[in-house]
Structure 1
Amino acid sequence: MTDTSTPPVLQLRVVVETEDFDAAVAFYRDALGMPEFFAFADGDGADDDRVAILDAGRATLELASPGHKRAIDAIEADGRESPRIRLAFEVTDATGTTRRLADVGARVVAEPVETPWRSLNSRLDAPGDLQITLFEELLDSHERAALEGFDTDASRTRDPGA
């Protein structure tokens, strides 16, 4: 039996190996604005033994079927296929953040586009050999929950007879 007072998972941490550590830190910490939570460097002066843990706010794990991934790629990136794993960052200004990150070296895969679920999304190739989505919510969570097709119970999201 699970103790409901303490959630079984306390943190999601995505670990990315990057050849150009300094460029990745400059991009994610300095340009995107993720505060450094913790950093470590091996005391022997080895330049390649470093880690920076950046605060990404609230973490979620989005699981998508292959069909849903294709549908998202069609909407967000004009059908250009994304990798199996892609990071998505909620920002307050998707257009401005897209421009700022492009100015510091990210390659824009797709310009910001308004999605059917009312967010403004862009795609970029970023340091760490990652593709990222920037998204700006245009509705609050209550307004989004009222849209057709949104439900928190996966068993009710689709009529099997449809």
Structure 2
Amino acid sequence: MSEHAHLSEGEGREGPAVRELRLVVTAADYDAALHFYRDVLGLPERAAFSSDGGRVSILEAGRATLEITDPRHAEFIDEVEVGRRVAGHVRVAFQVDDSAAVTVRLAAAGAEVLAEPTRTPWNSLNARLEAPGALQLTLFTELGDGEGGEENGGDGDGGGDGS
């Protein structure tokens, strides 16, 4: 961990204050975005609703974390994964079993590959894409026994261990 202390769940408070992280993406082409994330990436649909001509689908995306980074670390991650600064202030990272295969599948469905899968200093295989809904995605696969990654407090995206 870093020099900054934090409270563990239940330590100094009444359990976790947040029960779920829900990232809400407004997509101009709702059908294309839903197809991409649900049918191609494989996020299961938990619920779907409509109101006054509008629609929303809630997709399961596994365990969620919120990674806070400063601009300098974000620049470092972009340099490692893409070779230059490309991300805005929000980027979504998905841990997948095979980042190379998922990159090919998402590219065939219309995502723009910004960087092919690259082995990172924290021993994960990361790819970067521009995806429907104007989201920049990192697809990462933990390669194991390296620095960083979940076992050392990170998410495979260089967070958590100062990489």
Superposition TM-score tier, normalisation by shorter sequence: 0.7 to 0.9
User: Match of 1:30, as an amino acid?
Assistant: D
CA drift of 1:138 comes to 0.7
Matched, 1:13 2:55: no
CA drift of 1:81 comes to 2.1
5 Å-filtered alignment, 1:4-153, equals: 4=15, 7-42=16-51, 46=53, 49-139=54-144, 144-145=151-152
Aligned-pair Cα RMSD in Å = 2.4
SS of the aligned residue for 2:58 comes to strand
Distance 1:145 1:11 in 2: 23
What TM-score do the two structures reach when normalised by structure 1? 0.82
User: Match of 1:19, as an amino acid?
Assistant: A
SS of the aligned residue for 1:28 comes to helix
Q: Is the 8 A contact 1:117 1:144 kept in 2?
A: no
Residue matched to 1:3: 14
CA drift of 1:133 comes to 0.5
CA drift of 1:80 comes to 3.4
CA drift of 1:144 comes to 4.8
* Identity level (%): 50
Unaligned runs of 5+ in 2: 1-11
Distance 1:100 1:10 in 2: 32
Name which of structure 1's ranges 75-84 and 118-127 shifts more when overlaid on structure 2: 75-84
Cα distance 1:73–1:142, how it changes in 2: closer, same or farther (>3 A)? closer
Cα distance 1:40–1:142, how it changes in 2: closer, same or farther (>3 A)? closer
Unaligned runs of 5+ in 1: 158-162
